[in-house]
Amino acid sequence: MNRRAQVSLLLLAAASGAVDALAFTVLGTVFAGVMTGNLVLLGVAVGSGSGAQEGVAAPLYALGGYVVGAALVARVCRGVREGTPWPGRVVAYLGVQTVVLAAVAAVAGVLGGHPDGAWRTVLLVASAVAMGGQSAAMVAAGSGAAPTTYFTGTLTTLVTGAADGTRRGAGQWWVVARLCAVAGGAAGGVAVHAGAPPWGFVSPALLTAAAVVCQKPAHRWRRAVTRIHRTPLHDTNNESH
């Protein structure tokens, strides 16, 4: 995996940490990307007999949004070939994710950084859709990427590889950096929200945008457009013969 991809993964991990921290502290005490945590919260709510609106509904909204995002991106990226740099459709989705997170930030800002009622649910679902799509995009990128929204397996591989001497999880320093990035992104997102609530949701969009820029999308999209324009000419020339 090249350095550009590693930096993009760090930025996406930080964005994921910020989104989850803001979802948990502002959007209903649930996660937008950590579905294991939401399943546990759902079980706790059911087991303790909490009211549906506060205890059960929020985890279900987040789960539903995540599933929808993952399914949509899996369909869009179906059939892409692995490689470095990341497939164009993966980078294109990350561009769309930037727009979604920017829209979340704009709405949250207009609401003073403290959305409530239906708006809180809308922003939670939108954030979960974005995180589900990000997870699916990293799967589509294959060996050129790594998880950026869930890290239990990453941490387990790192610890067991160090403990048994097999060094599973090549590039350990980048793995450690991603773990630090998700914590740093969470800390930064919450800190910004605490100091300036209307701006609290901006950091995930900025981090995702930076990850897209690292993949040099303009060059690849320009090359793709050039190919599209050349294809009809090529076909016309063939027909003339």
Helix, strand, coil percentages for the chain (3-state, nearest 5): 80, 0, 20
Nearest residue to 8 via CA among 199, 141, 106, 192 = 141
Residue matched to tokens 């609290």: 200
Rounded CA separation 8/213 (Å): 9
What's the residue count for the chain?
241
pLDDT in the model for residue 237 = 47
Predicted local distance difference test score (pLDDT) of residue 210? 96
Residue numbers of the domain that contains 100 = 3-232
Task: Tell whether 238 is covered by a domain.
Answer: no
Nearest Cα residue to 23 out of 133, 128, 136, 132: 128
Q: What stretches in the chain show pLDDT beneath 50?
A: 224, 227-228, 233-241
What is the reported pLDDT for 173? 83
In a domain, 98, yes or no: yes
- Per-residue pLDDT at 223: 53
Is residue 142 assigned to a domain? yes
Cα 231 from Cα 240, distance rounded (Å): 14
Residue 234: the pLDDT is 44
User: pTM of the prediction?
Assistant: 0.85
Mean pLDDT, the chain, whole residue set: 86
CB 130 within 8 A of CB 227: no
| CATH (domain of 156) | 1.20.1250
Q: Evaluate whether residue 237 is within a structural domain.
A: no
Residue 240 forms part of a structural domain: no
Distance between CA 217 and CA 86 in Å, rounded? 10
Burial of 49 from C-beta contacts in 10 A (0-12 / 13-18 / 19+): exposed
Q: Is residue 10 part of a domain?
A: yes
CB of 202 closer than 8 Å to CB of 34: no
Residue 83 confidence (pLDDT):
61
Q: Which amino acid is at 9?
A: L
Number of domains into which the chain is organized: 1
**What is the model's pLDDT at position 170?**
55
pLDDT for the residue 229: 57
